[in-house]
Amino acid sequence: MPVPILTDLVIIFGLSIVVLFICHQLRVPVTVGFILTGILAGPHLLGLVKAVHEVEILAEIGVILLLFTIGVEFSFANLLQIRQSVLVAGPIQVAATCLAGLFLSLQFGKTVGEAIFIGFLVSLSSTAIVLKLLQERAEVDTPHGRTSLGILIFQDIIIVPMMLLVPLLAGASENIGTSFLILLAKGLVIIALVIASAKWVVPHVLYQVARTGNRELFLLSIVLICMAVAWLTAQAGLSLALGAFLAGLIVSETEYSHQALGNILPFRDVFASFFFISIGMLLDVGFLLKHPGVIALLTLGVLLVKALLAGSAALFLKFPLRTAILVGLALCQVGEFSFILSKAGQSQGLFSGDSYQLFLDVTIITMVTTPLMMALAPQAANFVLRWPLPQRLKLGAHLQEEISKSTPGDHLIIVGFGVNGRNLARAAKTGGIPYVIIEMNPETVRRERESGEPIFYGDATQEEILKHANIKEARIVVVVINDPAATRRIVTLARSLNPRAYIIVRTRYLQELQSLFDLGADDVVPEEFETSVEIFTLVLRKYLVAKEEIERFVTQVRADGYLVLRGISKEIDSGLRHLHDFEISTFRLSERAPLAGKSLAQVELRKKFGVTVLAIRRDSQMLSNPEPDMQLLANDLLIVMGTPDNLSNSIWLFKNPEKS
């Protein structure tokens, strides 16, 4: 007996493979590929999928798992760092977009209720798409990534009051105030439960589960935590996505967060694909072909207005113009929760005629264009920054007083004050090297300036900021930030402003290596390759390779730009030779052992047993290269070298004779 959902799953996965393969060849983002799959398989085009409702359920699970993993990778500490984005930029962005939607809708003859409702719909952005793209581009920890996340969190919260206001906008206004107070009380209770769970309950539960060593039990426990918190928030009238994010935050506060993330990721990727496919299924291609001009005009209008307003919210937080542009282009689409809100509005009569399908088509197209908008955002920012705009706007209002006058020449410039930047500054201070730090987190800047660090706020992709740091007289520039596009821009600017500066760049990704060298970097330190070098160094030491040979090998690997590790060069002549069959071991000499009381010359260890004594530790004294006539005493610790077989066969010499 055929199962409809199983048939549809086979069709979806098969079509996805074909579409994603073509997208990969054309360098089209995976997210767009999934949406295109949904358009093709959906009821409005080929009609291959019948169980649309079941696919939507799988899509909701995908959203839950996606937001849960984002919460796991985040933490309450990180959430506190972006509180301004949540509490200030979020309300500004939502309020400004709602007002813009209201004004424009009234111009097209909509009633006040309908116009406000349209403003609600347009104000929300896609949490799932934006955060997935930020994760893929390793930009969640960048200033624009953190700001975007803060605004998205506020949007996920504000959708609840919006849902409550839908009946009021439609004319059914009874008990709205009471419902809002009840919802507020529920929200406060849930927040209290989340904090208590993160601090006391979940860490203890996961500790007991982890003690069993049962992978299946651990996985089910993580899934239960994720689904239970999401269900709890949904029961309280809040969004599933917000609950899943809170569940991730709870797990992130435990020492089991990395294991939890590794277990969930495969399931997240599978179910998240259904979310994007389900969005594509909503697009009515026939309606799009009938009204291409109107849809194109509305789509461009939504993208432009939302980008300007979201960027303005970032500017209100005194971020530089470049960060504001990246935030605006990341949040310029209409989000998935607008679909939920639109269904509520449709049931209340706030949508009439073709308005609902027009909204769906515009929303989906804005979602499809999001990967392209975010990919082009750095180039767009660089283009705008060439305009004759005020320096305060370009550089950000957080810019502190100029320090170039107090910055000595021949100094070190550190761009970014994360873990690597902090360690480098500490080392420079210890070595008496003059340095200055450029950082984009205003909280970090204020805190570190109070503690005496020579740090100032600024976007190092701007020429003026580098001039503030006295780039023209700097000896070394070290770039240790998480934004690949910004890193390339900084390297280019630093090289043009100071051709003599020695530029060192840290990167996470292999594909960035050659482009950074081409842009003018003198040294590029890829994290994954440096880890490999360190591990291989330990391996060579274990094989007793000479220290000088190991250092020569490592130096040559780095000098060749890690070509040998990238597999694109010939084998280098490092001169490495290791002692294949030898090991170094230690033995404690027992009181009545055959060797006790005898000299090395008497026992002839090397000649008779193939074992060489390298050193002897006697009490607290280390006796290296012992003389042949040195007497071996009980409790001596002998450091010896030999083949595994010879060492094994000679163990009896160091121990008390066994009683027969």
Domain at 478, CATH number = 3.40.50.720
Residue 100 in contact with residue 312, Cβ under 8 Å?
A: no
User: Are residues 405 and 344 located together in one domain of the fold?
Assistant: no
Look at the block and give the residue holding tokens 């390339």: 488
The CATH number that applies at residue 140 is: 1.20.1530.20
Residue 126 in contact with residue 151, Cβ under 8 Å?
A: no
Alpha carbon distance, N-terminus to C-terminus of the chain: 75
Highest mean pLDDT of the ranges 57-61, 128-132, 304-308, 565-569: 304-308
Helix (H) or strand (E) holding 335: none
User: Are residues 506 and 426 located together in one domain of the fold?
Assistant: yes
Q: Which domain holds residue 640?
A: 583-654
Q: What is the mean pLDDT of residues 201-225?
A: 87
User: Are residues 90 and 179 located together in one domain of the fold?
Assistant: yes
Give domain status of residue 538, yes or no. no
Whole-angstrom distance, CA of residue 222 vs CA of residue 648: 47
Q: Report CA-CA distances (Å) from 500 to 258, 472, 521.
A: 43, 9, 11
Please write the tens of the pLDDT for every residue from 504-562: 998 877 778 888 999 999 888 887 677 777 777 777 777 667 677 777 777 777 766 66
Whole-angstrom distance, CA of residue 544 vs CA of residue 281: 62
Give domain status of residue 660, yes or no. no
Q: What is the mean pLDDT of residues 580-589?
A: 79
User: Are residues 510 and 633 located together in one domain of the fold?
Assistant: no
- Residue 621, C-beta contacts closer than 8 angstroms, at least 6 positions apart: none
Q: What is the mean pLDDT of residues 164-193?
A: 70
Residue 656 in contact with residue 589, Cβ under 8 Å?
A: no
User: Are residues 402 and 372 located together in one domain of the fold?
Assistant: no
- Phi and psi at residue 565, to the nearest 5°: -80, -25
User: Are residues 194 and 269 located together in one domain of the fold?
Assistant: yes
Last residue of a domain, one of 501, 521, 541: 521
Of the pLDDT bands very low, low, confident and very high (cuts 50, 70, 90), residue 405 is very low
Residue 159 in contact with residue 400, Cβ under 8 Å?
A: no
DSSP 182-235: HHHHHHHHHHHHHHHIIIIIHHHHHHHHHHHT-HHHHHHHHHHHHHHHHHHHHH
Of the pLDDT bands very low, low, confident and very high (cuts 50, 70, 90), residue 169 is confident
| Local structure of residue 386 (DSSP, 8 states) | T
User: Are residues 166 and 306 located together in one domain of the fold?
Assistant: yes
Give domain status of residue 559, yes or no. no
**Which segments of 253-390 does DSSP mark as H helices, in order?**
257-281, 285-290, 292-316, 321-330, 337-347, 355-385
Whole-angstrom distance, CA of residue 368 vs CA of residue 283: 11
The CATH number that applies at residue 628 is: 3.30.70.1450
Give domain status of residue 568, yes or no. no
For residue 463, pLDDT over 70 is answered with yes
Give domain status of residue 578, yes or no. no
Strand partners, 586: 639
List of long-range contacts for 98-101, beta carbons under 8 Å, 24+ apart? 98/122, 98/123, 100/305, 100/309
User: Are residues 497 and 619 located together in one domain of the fold?
Assistant: no
Give domain status of residue 163, yes or no. yes
For residue 486, pLDDT over 50 is answered with yes
In terms of Cα–Cα distance, which of 149, 174, 25 is closest to 93? 149
Q: What is the mean pLDDT of residues 170-192?
A: 68
- Phi and psi at residue 639, to the nearest 5°: -100, 115
How many distinct structural domains can be found in the chain? 3
User: Are residues 246 and 98 located together in one domain of the fold?
Assistant: yes
User: Are residues 638 and 505 located together in one domain of the fold?
Assistant: no
Amino acid 445 reads V
Residue 461 in contact with residue 490, Cβ under 8 Å?
A: yes
Whole-angstrom distance, CA of residue 578 vs CA of residue 584: 13
Whole-angstrom distance, CA of residue 462 vs CA of residue 155: 31
Q: Write down the mean pLDDT value for the chain.
A: 83
Q: In what order do the strands lie in the sheet with 612-618?
A: 583-588, 637-642, 612-618, 621-624
Whole-angstrom distance, CA of residue 371 vs CA of residue 377: 10
Last residue of a domain, one of 470, 493, 521: 521
Last residue of a domain, one of 504, 521, 538: 521
User: Are residues 170 and 215 located together in one domain of the fold?
Assistant: yes
In terms of Cα–Cα distance, which of 460, 424, 411 is closest to 439? 460
Q: What is the mean pLDDT of residues 239-258?
A: 81
Helix (H, G, I), strand (E, B) or coil at 479: strand
- Phi and psi at residue 25, to the nearest 5°: -65, -35
Of the pLDDT bands very low, low, confident and very high (cuts 50, 70, 90), residue 402 is very low
Whole-angstrom distance, CA of residue 339 vs CA of residue 346: 10
User: Are residues 71 and 172 located together in one domain of the fold?
Assistant: yes
Q: Which pair of tokens denotes residue 655?
A: 């121990």
Amino acid 625 reads N
pTM listed for this prediction: 0.71
Give domain status of residue 40, yes or no. yes
Give domain status of residue 567, yes or no. no
